[in-house]
Each structure stands twice: as structure tokens, then as C-alpha cells.
Amino acid sequence: MKVYQTNEIKNIALLGSKGSGKTTLAEAMLYECGVIKRRGSVLGKNTVCDYFPVEKEYGYSVFSTVFYAEFLNKKLNVIDCPGADDFVGSAITALNVTDTGVIVINSQYGVEVGTQNIFRQTASLKKPVIFALNQLDGEKADFENVVEQMREVFGNKIVLVQYPLATGPSFNSMIDVLLMKKYSWGPEGGVPTIEDIPEEELERANELHAKLVEAAAENDETLMEKFFDQGHLNEDEMREGIRKGLVDRSLFPVFCVCAEKDMGVRRMMEFLGNVVPFVEDMPAPVNTAGDEVVPDSNGPLSLFVFKTTVEPHIGEVSYFKVMSGTLTTGVDLDNVSRDSKERIAQVYCVCGQIKTPVDKLCAGDLGATVKMKDVRTGNTLDEKGCDYAFDFIKYPAPKYQRAIRPVTESDAEKLSVILTRMHEEDPTWEVEQSKELKQTILSGQGEFHLRTLKWRVENNDKLPIVFEEPKIPYRETITKASRADYRHKKQSGGAGQFGEVHIIIEPYTEGMPAPDTYRFGNQEFKMNVRDTQEIPLQWGGKLVVCNCIVGGAIDARFIPAIVKGLMDRMEQGPLTGSYARDVRVCIYDGKMHPVDSNEISFRLAGRNAFSEAFRNANPKVLEPVYDVEVMVPADVMGDVMSDLQGRRAIIMGMSSENGFEKISAKVPLKEMSSYSTALSSITGGRSSFTMKFASYELVPADVQEKLLKEYADSHSDE
């Protein structure tokens, strides 16, 4: 295989909603380049891109797939991304290591929420975008309506390069207004007939051609002057103007394809090969030091590992982008992310599961290697003397959680190893061993996302697992001051145990004045603060302990033991066993014994005094509340609002955004457990949402009563 230089390489992400036909389009692209001799199909389970067992089982893409095509003496590296929102992590990864996004739209359904989400990602990363309107031969295909939707959602930067002469089952021809030619195909597609534009279409074609020329000229002053002088641009000038417009995101070209019948695919690939930006045309990536790293083949060698997988019959495969320098086989590199060394024994160009060995890859190229010792997704590998490090991929927060455990308890360690590997393959699968909840919590982007992991663990690793409802990380606090004392006394022959502690507790708020005087009934308690400990809690909030002991009632050496006892109860609140927070404790009196007093005595006395005081301080349970934003089509907004209100949501606002309605709400985490599934059911999969932790809020009285009863019942069983 030829060694391609940086100025001959183009990196492209194939994006779009689930069912838009990306994998079928990828198959047609590979066929047109001669990489495969026969096109596979998703139904036939024989495509290049969907080769993992879980993808064949479910019939949709789960992983992004890297493939390359040698076309017009250039190398096109393409990453075919899953369309389901649940696998958005793959699309985000692909956009970060490629330079252009081809967003595929199903012409039967138009601009879907998934399309908008992907477009928003391209905008945040400032990536050029080309739209491919696919499935124009579908029964419900409506080209004009979809283009109108696109202009409403994406603005007037939408520029037609082609338009079909008819849509639906009769689709077989289109007008290309860049080349000003008519393309038509036979019933089975394939090689087109190219001819002059028929007279009845000339007026529309000329009008669209003029708009395309004007859009191209707008991106270069020289071209604009020539356009005003001559009224046209030649083909090379058009390419240059469009390329600059793509880089600036000032135009979004629209192409027509029918991937299943291979209609229009080759023409779109010609545009990708001739017009879209090369690696070196795009802004240089920035390393963690804030410096731009230009993709220079003569620079220091640096690789960024953007994906790792465990593949059948191969084992672990590491996919990388050559950020700088030229990679050759047998080179030794430092893994700057893990402070280890690696040898690149083999270098491959990848086409799905087909790995083609190569000797060299230049800056900007994508490749893979196998059997690395200690490499993870997101690691940077540098040659000696190079200190680049990259960390530019930011993933969305998880939206769906389940507690996970093996059916057989003895398999817990094996499951832990598998989950760690899964997270390395897809960082949007997050795993947490929750000490608080005493569960392993698996978080992801949706139910499909987690169900896919479950299928793989049970079918590939042969380990049966169970998903359960995750417990909610409630918090406990108090709302008024209270007093308690407790004497711990134990005598069983020999040295005994004795410790007595008197405390006052109250709600703590940041910046509150030092304690002074408290009144309970007819008694007044004046505090003389000797010292104060502020203990920030890992789970949020603080425990503040004021030592107000006078006259040596309790020796100073026992105060740390009392604080330990208080922390015991902060870690396991008296109401529901949840973490407690935001409490100030004044230790103001007590008693000790010259022989029997010891640390354990005062620890137990402190713990029990705190429990009693806590229960008398009008305690409340707090629950985590999340900021939720839901994007919905207008026709189902009422149903979505009703569902949210049934989940104790507080609607904070509504607005319109690019043809969709956006609902902002605050919703308790308890009510979000199955929300992704419910929202998909209500809206037919046409909506999406994001959620982000906001604060802890008091639970309603009826909910608190129920929680206390459940906790009491569970402990009486024990």
C-alpha cells in the first residue's frame, strides 16, 4: 500500500440518526473504491462495519468502525459511527479525531432530534459538515420538505449541490448544480449515465448554481472580486471557495444518495476527495500545555489512542491518530499518560475487521496496532524527547443507571475485570463501586446502552449478571437545635468501660457565628468554645465540632474518640442509614473514670448521644435533584410535560430551539430511573434529554415517612 503524505489524507466521520443508513452508505463507499467486490447489507449481517456479534444480533451499530478508501490518489479515513443516542460517545470520539462530518439524513423522516444533537456536537468542535440525503427512493421521501426543515433548523448556510428529479420508488436521477450535469441510473443503480441538463430543468439548475457560486466566492475576497467581474468561477476556484467555506462553517453542502442501490455515492466521494479539507487545512489540535501541535511528518512522533477494543481472534486492538511525526514499525514510545514504555511491533491500516499491515504512517493518518502492554483509550504515546500530551475528548454526563451484580457472588472479581475493560472500550460506560449504597453502579447514556453491555457480558464472557434498581444516595440533616447526653458503662470483670458525653447539635450553615447560649425548656446552656474542628465531608456539606468542655470534665485526649463516634453516625445516619451533612456539634460536658475510661468508651458514648440528639432535632431526608433539559417535537410536548409532572418535576421554563421545544425542569433522581425508556416510548424515539446534578432538596413528608418505614422494616428483619 502507498504511503500517503499529510497533504494527501482526509479524515471523515459518518454521522446521523439511527436508521439513516450510514452503514449501508459505508458499504457503498467501500464498493465504489474497490475495497470490497460485493456489497453486504445490515439485514444480511455481512457488512464491513457491523462485524461484532452484538451488532449482528441487534441489527444496528454499537461501535464506531474505522475504514479507509484510496480514491483519486488520496486516502480517505472514514469512521462510521452508531446512530442511536445511547452510543453518542463514539460519535464524539470520531469528531475529535476527524476533520469533516458527513451527516446522513433519512429523507423519509427528515431532521430528527439525533440529527440536531450531532450537528450541535460539530458546532461545538467547529467541524465542517456535509449533508447526505439518503433513502430518496423511500415511499415517504420528500426532498423539498426535508430541505425546508434543514433551513429552519440549520439556517441559510444550507446549499444544494444536487437535487432529485423525483423522489419515492421512482427516484433514479438528479441534477448536479456544481458540475451542471444530469446523473441517472438503471433500476439496480451502479454506474450512472451522465448527460446535459434537460431544458425544462435549466432555469432551476442555473439559479441553484449561481447560489452555490456565490456561497463559494463569499469565503475569499479574490474569488468574490472575480465573481462580481465575471459572474462565474471555474471548477478549481469553486473547489477552493467551497473548501474555505467548509472550514469556516459558512456553508453546508447537500448531496443526494440512495446508498442501498449505490446511486450518487461515487459522486459524493469525488467531492470528498477533491473538495473537503485535508488534515493540514484544519486548525491544529492543542495539547494539555495549551500549545498547538501542527501535523508535521518531520516533527517529533506523537500518537493519540482514541479507541481500544477486544476483537474476535485478535485480542486487544488500539486505534490511534498520528498527531505529529512519522510512525514506523518497531519504534519504542513512552506512554506519557501511564508512565510506561511500549513498542509498536505492528502497524495496520484498518477496514472494519480487516487489518492491512503497513510500514509507515504519516502525521494526520489513522491506524491501529495490537497487543499493547499498558495502553488505554485517551493515552498519548511519544518518542523520547517529546512531551506532548492530549486530552481533548469530553464525553456527556450519563443519563441512565443500574446496579449490577453477578448471579454467582464468587464471580464478583471477574465481573469487575470485565467492566473495567468495557469502560476502556467505551468511556461513556462508567462504573462505580459505591461504598455508600453498597452496590456496583453502572452508568450510561440509556437503556439500550446498558442492555448492550449486559448482552456482551452474558454472551461473549459467559457470565450471567443481574441489573437492579440503584439505591438513591439520600442525605440526612437537621432543622433545629437539640440536646442529648449518653453514658456508656460496661463492667464484666477486670477493667471496665466508662464514658459520658453531653452534646448540643444544630443545623450548620457556612459563615454562621460561633455558638454562644442555648435554651432548652427552663435550662440555659452557655458555651465556652475552646477550639473548633471543621470536617469537610466527602459526600458534601460539613461536620463542625466545637470543644466547649470546661473544668476538665473530659480529658482532651478523648475528644478525637468522641469525634470518631460522631463521624460513625454521619456516615450512617440515624433515619435511613444515609450520609448526614451540615451539622454543628458542641461537646459541653461529660464524665470520665480514672481507670475505666478509654477511647472506645467515648467513641460509643459520642455515637449514641449524637443519634438521640439527631432524632430530636426535627431531622429531614434530602434527595438529589437534577437539572433536566428535554428536546421534544411540538406535537408530543403535552404528553412529555404530563409525564414530567407525574415525576414530581418542577418546570423551570420552556422555549423553542431549531424547530423543537425545549423543556427545562428540576426532577428528583428517584423519578429519573426509567426516564430514557419512558421518553422514547412517549415520543417514538424522537426526543432526547440531558441531566446534570443540581442540589439536594428536602423530600416531601409522605416520601420521608415511607423511607423511614422501609429502613425500619429492613433493620427489624436483620
Phi, psi of 629 (to 5 degrees): -120, 125
How far, in Å, CA of 629 to CA of 318, rounded?
A: 35
Pairing of strands 173-176, 162-164: antiparallel
3-state secondary structure of 449: helix
Pairing of strands 439-444, 650-657: unpaired
How far, in Å, CA of 470 to CA of 338, rounded?
A: 32
Helices (H), 13-112: 22-32, 53-58, 88-97
3-state secondary structure of 197: coil
Q: Which of 428, 433, 395, 436 is nearest to 413 (CA)?
A: 433
Mark 518-549 as b/e (b = at least 16 C-beta within 10 Å).
beeeeeebebeeeeeeeeebeeebbbbbbbbb
Residue 163 corresponds to which cell in the numbers above? 437535487
Phi, psi of 321 (to 5 degrees): -115, 135
pLDDT at 174: 96
Residue 103 near residue 130, CB atoms below 8 Å:
yes
pLDDT at 231: 67
Positive/negative CA dihedral, 123, 389, 13, 11 = positive
* HEC sequence for 361-390: EECCCEEEEECCCCCCCCCEEECCCCCCCC
Q: Which residues contact 246 (CB under 8 A, 6 or more apart)?
A: 100, 128, 129, 130, 253, 275, 276, 277
pLDDT at 25: 94
Q: What angle do CA 173, 175, 177 make, to 5 degrees?
A: 160
Positive/negative CA dihedral, 580, 586, 588, 593 = positive
pLDDT at 63: 87
Q: Which residues contact 39 (CB under 8 A, 6 or more apart)?
A: 27, 28, 30, 31, 262
- Cα 373 to chain centroid distance, Å, stands at 27
Residue 76 near residue 269, CB atoms below 8 Å:
yes
Positive/negative CA dihedral, 449, 454, 455, 460 = positive
pLDDT digit string (tens) for 18-61?
889 999 999 999 999 888 888 888 888 888 888 888 888 877 78
pLDDT at 340: 92
Q: DSSP assignment of 299-332, as one string? A: S--EEEEEEEEEETTTEEEEEEEEEESEEETTEE
Q: Which residues of the chain have pLDDT under 70?
A: 227, 231, 493-494, 658-659, 716-718
3-state secondary structure of 674: coil
Pairing of strands 129-134, 100-106: parallel
Positive/negative CA dihedral, 194, 196, 200, 204 = positive
| Neighbour-count burial of 572, counting CB atoms closer than 10 A to its CB (0-12 exposed, 13-18 middle, 19+ buried) | middle
Residue 680 near residue 652, CB atoms below 8 Å:
no
Q: What are the angstrom distances between the C-alpha of 154 and each of 130, 148, 149, 501, 637?
A: 12, 10, 8, 68, 22
pLDDT at 718: 45
pLDDT digit string (tens) for 626-674?
999 998 888 899 999 999 999 999 999 999 876 688 999 999 999 998 8
- Cα 565 to chain centroid distance, Å, stands at 41
Residue 481 near residue 617, CB atoms below 8 Å:
yes
pLDDT at 357: 95
pLDDT at 635: 86
492: how many CB neighbours lie within 10 A of its CB? 7
How far, in Å, CA of 231 to CA of 214, rounded?
A: 9
Question: For residue 513, what is the DSSP state?
Answer: P
How far, in Å, CA of 293 to CA of 299, rounded?
A: 9
| Domains within the chain, CATH numbers bracketed | 6-281 (3.40.50.300), 400-471 (3.30.70.870), 476-618 (3.30.230.10), 621-703 (3.30.70.240)
Q: Which of 214, 216, 242, 238 is nearest to 228 (CA)?
A: 214
Q: Which residues contact 99 (CB under 8 A, 6 or more apart)?
A: 10, 11, 12, 127, 128, 276, 277, 278, 279, 281, 282
Q: Which of 530, 534, 428, 24 is nearest to 261 (CA)?
A: 24
Q: Any bridge partners for residue 544, and if so which? A: 534, 584
Strands (E), 208-359: 252-256, 302-311, 315-324, 326-328, 331-335, 340-344, 347-351, 354-358
Q: What is the pTM of this model?
A: 0.83
Q: Which of 549, 33, 30 is nearest to 41 (CA)?
A: 30
3-state secondary structure of 700: coil
Q: Which residues contact 472 (CB under 8 A, 6 or more apart)?
A: 623, 624, 669, 670
3-state secondary structure of 619: coil
- Cell 471543621 sits at which residue? 534
518-522 long-range Cβ contacts below 8 angstroms, 24+ apart: 518/481, 518/483, 518/586, 520/481, 520/482, 520/483
pLDDT at 64: 92
